[in-house]
Amino acid sequence: MSTRSSSPQPNDPSITTAHDDPVSALVHAAVADRPLEEVARLITLLEESPQYAQATVDALRAVGTDRSVEDVTRLAALLTRPPRDADSADEAIRAAAGSRPVEEVTRLMALLHQSPMEPHCGQEAARAAATARPVEELVELIGRLSEEREAQATRLAAQTPPRPFGEELLPGALGHEESVLPAVFPPPEAEAALAAVDARTPRRLARTPARPAARVQWPGLVAAAALLACALLWFPVHRDGASLRTYGFALGLSALCAVVSVLLTLRPGLPVLAVAVVVPALLAAAQLYEGRFHSARLSRALDLTLAPNWIAGLAAVCASLAALTALLVRLASQVPMVNAAARPLVGARRRAD
Are both 343 and 223 inside the same structural domain? yes
Rounded Cα gap, residues 344 and 203, in angstroms? 10
Q: Do residues 20 and 137 both lie within one domain?
A: yes
Q: Are residues 225 and 155 in the same domain?
A: no
Q: Phi, psi (5° rounding) for residue 73?
A: -65, -45
Distance CA 15, CA 94 (A): 12
Contact 60, 18 (CB under 8 A): no
| Same domain flag for 134 and 231 | no
User: Cβ(25)–Cβ(14) under 8 Å?
Assistant: no
Q: Of 159, 186, 203, at which residue does a domain stop? A: 159
Residue 171 lies in a domain: no
Question: Is 202 part of a structural domain of the chain?
Answer: no
* 198 domain-assigned: no
Residue 27 is classified by DSSP as: H
Question: 306 phi and psi, to 5 degrees?
Answer: -65, -45
> 237 and 150 in one domain?
no
Domain boundary among 117, 142, 159: 159
Say yes or no: 51 and 148 in one domain. yes
Q: Is residue 263 part of a domain?
A: yes
CB distance 305 to 252 below 8 Å: no
Amino acid at 339: N
Burial-class residue 89 by CB neighbours within 10 Å (0-12, 13-18, 19+).
Answer: buried
Q: Where is the domain boundary, 137, 159, 181?
A: 159
Interacting residues of 69 by C-beta distance below 8 A, sequence separation 6+: 4, 96, 100, 104, 107, 108, 111
Q: Are residues 344 and 244 in the same domain?
A: yes
Q: Are residues 150 and 265 in the same domain?
A: no
Residue 271 belongs to a domain? yes
Say how many Å lie between the first and final Cα of the chain, rounded: 60
One digit per residue, pLDDT tens: the chain, 353 residues?
433 433 344 444 444 444 568 888 888 888 988 899 999 999 999 989 889 999 999 999 999 899 999 999 999 989 888 888 888 889 999 998 988 999 998 888 888 887 677 788 888 888 888 888 888 888 888 888 888 788 778 877 887 655 554 444 444 444 444 444 444 444 454 455 455 545 554 444 444 444 544 455 788 888 888 888 888 888 887 777 778 888 888 888 888 888 988 888 888 788 888 888 888 888 888 877 765 666 666 676 777 778 787 888 888 889 889 888 888 888 887 755 444 444 555 454 555 55
Dihedral angle sign, alpha carbons of residues 228, 234, 238, 244: negative
Other beta carbons within 10 Å of 194: 19
Has residue 303 been placed in a domain?
yes
140 shares a domain with 227: no
Are 240 and 105 contained in the same domain?
Answer: no
Q: What is the pLDDT of residue 67?
A: 92
Could you tell me the CA-to-CA distances from 16 to 56, 99, 171 in Å, in that order?
A: 17, 11, 69
Its domain, for residue 153, covers: 13-159
**Distances 328 to 133, 265, 333 between C-alpha atoms, Å:** 93, 17, 9
Q: Domain total for the chain? A: 2
User: In three state form, how does the secondary structure of the chain look?
Assistant: CCECCCCCCCCCHHHHCHHHCHHHHHHHHHHHHCCHHHHHHHHHHHHCCHHHHHHHHHHHHHHHHHECHHHHHHHHHHHCCCCCCCCCCHHHHHHHHHHCCHHHHHHHHHHHHHCCCCHHHHHHHHHHHHHHCCHHHHHHHHHHHHHHHHHHHHHHHHHCCCCCCCHHHHHHCCCCHHHHHHHHCCHHHHHHHHHHHHHHHHHHHHHCCCCCCHHHHHHHHHHHHHHHHHHHHCCECCCCCCCHHHHHHHHHHHHHHHHHHHHHHHCCCHHHHHHHHHHHHHHHHHHHCHHHHCCHHHHHHHHCECCCHHHHHHHHHHHHHHHHHHHHHHHHHHHHHHHHHHHHHHHHHHHHC
Q: How far apart are CA 33 and CA 15, in angstroms?
A: 18
For residues 74 and 146, what is the distance between their CA atoms, to the nearest angstrom? Answer: 23
What is the reported pLDDT for 185? 43
Do 30 and 142 sit in the same domain of this protein? yes
C-alpha to C-alpha distance for 302 and 309, rounded to whole angstroms = 7
For the full predicted model, state whether its pTM sits above 0.75. no
273, part of any domain: yes
